[in-house]
Amino acid sequence: MYSSMKKVLVGIGSNKAYDGKSPLEILLCACTELEKVLENTVFSSVYRTRAMYVENQDDFYNMAATGFVSDDFDAYDFLEILNKIEAKYGRNRKNEIRFGPRSLDLDIEYFGEETFDTPKLQVPHPRLKERAFVLIPSLEILNKSADDKLRNQFSGYLSQLEKNGQADGIEKLGGIKYGTISGNGSC
């Protein structure tokens, strides 16, 4: 069924309100936007996590999404779509602190079997191995897929973080769309 499709994994995060929307409402809107781009989209639960790197900021709300794009879909075009979604919900990369507060952060964690290492795009994401806040929600949805290779790889990364005490402070809140978290309905 998906022989001409690529599986895509996107990390999603927010810790800053924008235009009257809370971070959780922004996540809900981002999910709606991603469903327009990805086929057979699956979303993880939302996890509240302490900020990394720049710790003096509000907790983040993180989740992951997976779905499929056509084989002829270009990763750079996909990145441009994600950047437009981020901008629509208040992200302005020119005016932000690196690793600081943001209304919406969409990262391509995996894009089919493709790898990229350019100034504009790095896939797999270069800091994936150190980010339990990406690994935990990703494993939640990968556990429902037949992708043993990716699931085992992520499980290994998470196991290492757990051994080093670097996977603490992540609280599962619930599902964003069909579960316990909902927004005001206006995106």
Among the listed residues 58, 98, 107, 147, the single catalytic one is 107
Residue 91 appears among annotated catalytic residues = yes
Q: 10 Å Cβ neighbour count for 3?
A: 5
Among the listed residues 19, 50, 59, 105, the single catalytic one is 105
Among the listed residues 50, 71, 98, 102, the single catalytic one is 102
- Identify the H or E element spanning 60: strand 60-70
Residue 74 appears among annotated catalytic residues = no
Distance between CA atoms of 84 and 71, rounded to whole angstroms? Answer: 22
Residue 105 appears among annotated catalytic residues = yes
Among the listed residues 59, 71, 74, 91, the single catalytic one is 91
The SS3 call for residue 108 is strand
Decide: residue 72, CB within 10 A, 0-12 exposed, 13-18 middle, 19+ buried: exposed
Residue 151 appears among annotated catalytic residues = no
The SS3 call for residue 70 is strand
User: For residue 10, what are the β-bridge partners?
Assistant: 65, 108
Question: Known catalytic residues?
Answer: 91, 102, 105, 107
